[in-house]
Structure 1
Amino acid sequence: MALDIVIMAAGKGTRMKSARPKVLHRLAGRSLLQHVLQAASGLNAQRTVVITGHGADQVEAAFQAPNLVFARQEPQLGTGHAVQQAVPQLHDEGTTLILNGDVPLIEPETLRKLVQACDGKSLALLTVVLPDPSGYGRVIRSGDPVGGTIEGIVEHKDASPQQRRIQEIYTGVMAAPTAQLKRWLAALKNDNAQREYYLTDVVAMAVADHVHVVASHATSETEVLGINSPAQLADLERRYQRRLADALMEAGVRLADPARIDIRGELTCGQDVEIDVGCVFEGRVTLGNNVRIASHCVIRNVSIADDAVIHSFTHIDGEAQGASVGKGSLVGPFARLRPGAELGEEVHIGNFVEVKNSTLAKGAKANHLAYLGDATVGERVNYGAGSITANYDGANKHRTVIGADVHIGSNSVLVAPITVGEGATIGAGSTVSKSAPAGQLTVVRAKAVSLAGWKRPVKAKK
């Protein structure tokens, strides 16, 4: 039986007060629509139709996937009118699942249960009971207001004072037999307060056609909350982050404060991981056993091995290339690792040290105020404070190779391409533009000159 998915993403989102289409606003590092598409992806639909309207070009350019197509709603005349635009893309038989692009935390299992409840025969509505149902369509039942037969849905703006007291609401998510849905959509009218075509009117049509209308219940309020304003977006962000934090703690991760962590991607943790407050994880991050992340770090696209410590205010961004921190390494505070930074075991990267596209072998140290770009650093190298690899000639990048057991004195400049042989020492303050031999001291400095009788200038008297 064919399953088609329709996602409504045409709204302007006026209350967001933004030029960006609402469904492209981000929650936990991903757009709202991306969250919905991810939830739907596990259902193996034959086709997913995204209804675009406001900012359609931006929305359509942001997403590409197999079996994903777009249909435009111009102008926007209500939810029923939106789904009407998808009708030519829907298979004649099977089930159509209708989702909202601004309801990002819907759970895949909830959607599976809703499709099962439909079974290609019934009209299945996803409902939830809210303490404050203001703004939502109310589920109208006959007899028992909780377990009675569903007769229809009334939008908040059209509801009577008595109906507004109903706490069971329709979430905007439904699954319907496609053939009947097409017929109901064609019969929609706009005789309501908003002069719009309401998708919810198909419920009364189903009842009139003696199609069984069933309710499937969401597991929580959070998964069905829509976003219409920056305040709602912020609220849902915190709810989602707390859900992720609870899952980490359930797995044994020690969080100093679960309310002060942000995960905007994939975070995988080993055993006995400790994370202090104010840390942000983005992209794909892997933390090994006994890793400790101190406060206020930003960590993106990196693998951090067992027993490593990332001190406070460190910024790691591997971007697409990635980065890695070896077992037992110490990084920070105030350090920066950029794409291609690969630290071996027991490497020390200290405060205000930047590493990019460089490998440091076991036991290498760059403890303060230094830059390593496009460098290969051997074991046990001591890289002095204020030293840099001058890797860029204005047009091309060049590599610096530093052998094992090298000592680079403070405030040195290694002008690439250059090789510093094993066991060599570079005297402090040297600017080295030729390879330095192994085991020797290389010093490149101007001769010191002292001028007897020299006096500092003084300010002229007015």
Structure 2
Amino acid sequence: MAAGKGTRMKSALPKVLHKLAGRSLLQHVLNMTSGLAAQRSVVITGHGADEVEAAVAAPQLSFVRQMPQLGTGHAIQQAVPALEGEGTTLILNGDVPLIKQATAQRLIDACEGRALVLLTIHLQDPTGYGRILRDAEGAVLGIKEHKDATPAERAIREGYTGMMAAPTGALKRWVGQLNNNNAQGEYYLTDIVAMAVAEGVPVLGVAAPNETEVLGVNSPVQLADLERRFQREQAHELMEAGVRLADPARFDLRGQLQCGQDVEIDVNCVFEGEVSLGDNVRIGAHCVIRNASIAAGARIHEFTHIDGEKAGVKVGTGALIGPFARLRPGADLGAEVHIGNFVEVKNSSLAKGAKANHLAYLGDATVGERVNYGAGSITANYDGANKHRTEIGADVHVGSNCVLVAPITIGAGATIGGGSTITKPVGAGELSVARGKQVSIAGWSRPLKKR
């Protein structure tokens, strides 16, 4: 169910598209269900339906719309035409992003196409949750929504999470009998519990393993709380696997992170997309790393920004990157490469031992082994319409403040004098200097301001 507006979010963005750990709330739920082997998956949209459907569209998904939104029972009524045959229907909430696959599977297994199974949670303060009503023997009799509950019913601490598994045929029959005779004037899905009891269908309560799995998002405050819970959980798993986090409270993982042995990560680092860190990698404070593979022994110094986008970034064994470096898509750095402060690399490969230590740009370049690329030097790779490539052979020395105008080739062992603008190929072992002749004027006076 993903039709709600989310008024308390105070946002034009549909609630289920707000992000947690880099993915929308709804996408978290859909990713979890991909491992359940469902015959079909139906997303019920409503508020911002076009935007929601475009954001999560996938071949295995179908969509139905709830217009207007008249309650959870009304939402399932819209899905009934898409529920074919018998079996089990699992109902989940698009704004409850952290439910685990194992928990969902427990609901399915308990249902077996014959029982109505409710996911419940015991809370010290279940305000806002429907209360589970049981008889003296503990059998489930029904669910009373919070706003309709009596003071005695509100004292019950077992709440309904909004998620259930139901026999498909019976579910279709039950939701067709719902009415809106309640304080909200809505069609409550929870009313089907009493119908099941009346028919003698078993009604089971399965307790959620923990509160975090069933917490929903209704406000920015709740979203931030759930973000921190999720990040603490991920940090704990990494530390249990041997990763050293300087402070797990200042760590953000918004994708997948694979770590070798003896990896160290300092504070306030953000990892997005697919990132792998080899053995003995050290990540300095305040780094952002997205879609990158960093080999064993590499050191990523503080305030480095690595963004591989779709092309990815590769950092070789023992490389030293940063501080304040930027690696962009297609950067492929060999072993023991040095990329220093305020150096940017895009769509370029640097072979073993190459160095660009200060204030430089390498775009669309192939750089050989042991090249020393001077401070302030750039490859001028764009002519305003097309990108061109620069080839720099092994053991080349490029002086400071040089411009290499692509397409161009610098032969192995060549030297480029500082301050040169190079527009023609340079042969192996040659010294190339291309700059204006120095002129000195004796006794020259600077202009003075008029008073």
Q: Which amino acid aligns with 1:306?
A: A
Q: Which amino acid aligns with 1:269?
A: C
1:407–1:425 CA contact under 8 A, matched in 2:
yes
SS in 2 for 1:422: coil
**Structure 1 position 313 matched with structure 2 position 303:** yes
**Structure 1 position 185 matched with structure 2 position 178:** no
For residues 366-404 of structure 1, give each alpha carbon's deviation from its aligned partner in whole angstroms, at most 9, with x where no partner exists. 000000000000000000000000000010000000000
Q: Which amino acid aligns with 1:87?
A: V
User: What residue in structure 1 maps to residue 356 of structure 2?
Assistant: 366
Q: Which amino acid aligns with 2:347?
A: N
Alpha-carbon distance in 1 for matches of 2:442, 2:246: 61
User: What residue in structure 2 maps to residue 143 of structure 1?
Assistant: 136
SS in 1 for 2:291: strand
**Structure 1 position 404 matched with structure 2 position 397:** no
1:303–1:325 CA contact under 8 A, matched in 2:
yes
- 1:84-233 counterparts in 2 under 5 A? 84-143=77-136, 148-233=138-223
Alpha-carbon distance in 2 for matches of 1:66, 1:118: 27
**Structure 1 position 50 matched with structure 2 position 40:** no
User: What residue in structure 1 maps to residue 280 of structure 2?
Assistant: 290
User: What residue in structure 2 maps to residue 446 of structure 1?
Assistant: 436
Q: Which amino acid aligns with 2:243?
A: V
1:124–1:176 CA contact under 8 A, matched in 2:
yes
SS in 2 for 1:51: strand
Q: How far has the Cα of 1:456 moved from its partner?
A: 1.1
User: What residue in structure 1 maps to residue 62 of structure 2?
Assistant: 69
For residues 51-107 of structure 1, give each alpha carbon's deviation from its aligned partner in whole angstroms, at most 9, with x where no partner exists. 000000001111222331100000000000000000000012111110000000000
**Structure 1 position 346 matched with structure 2 position 336:** yes
What root-mean-square deviation, in Å, do the aligned CA atoms of Structure 1 and Structure 2 show? 0.7
List gaps (5 residues or longer) in structure 2: none
For residues 131-186 of structure 1, give each alpha carbon's deviation from its aligned partner in whole angstroms, at most 9, with x where no partner exists. 11000101001115xxx000000000001111111111110000010111111101
SS in 2 for 1:38: helix
User: What residue in structure 1 maps to residue 322 of structure 2?
Assistant: 332
1:32–1:103 CA contact under 8 A, matched in 2:
yes
Alpha-carbon distance in 2 for matches of 1:95, 1:448: 84
Q: 2:26 aligns with which of 14, 17, 33?
A: 33
1:46–1:67 CA contact under 8 A, matched in 2:
no
Alpha-carbon distance in 1 for matches of 2:389, 2:118: 62
Alpha-carbon distance in 2 for matches of 1:164, 1:450: 90
Q: 1:13 aligns with which of 6, 10, 24?
A: 6
Alpha-carbon distance in 1 for matches of 2:157, 2:368: 67
1:271–1:288 CA contact under 8 A, matched in 2:
yes
| TM-score, reference length from structure 1 | 0.97
Alpha-carbon distance in 2 for matches of 1:213, 1:272: 50
SS in 1 for 2:163: strand
Q: Which amino acid aligns with 1:442?
A: S
Alpha-carbon distance in 2 for matches of 1:108, 1:72: 26
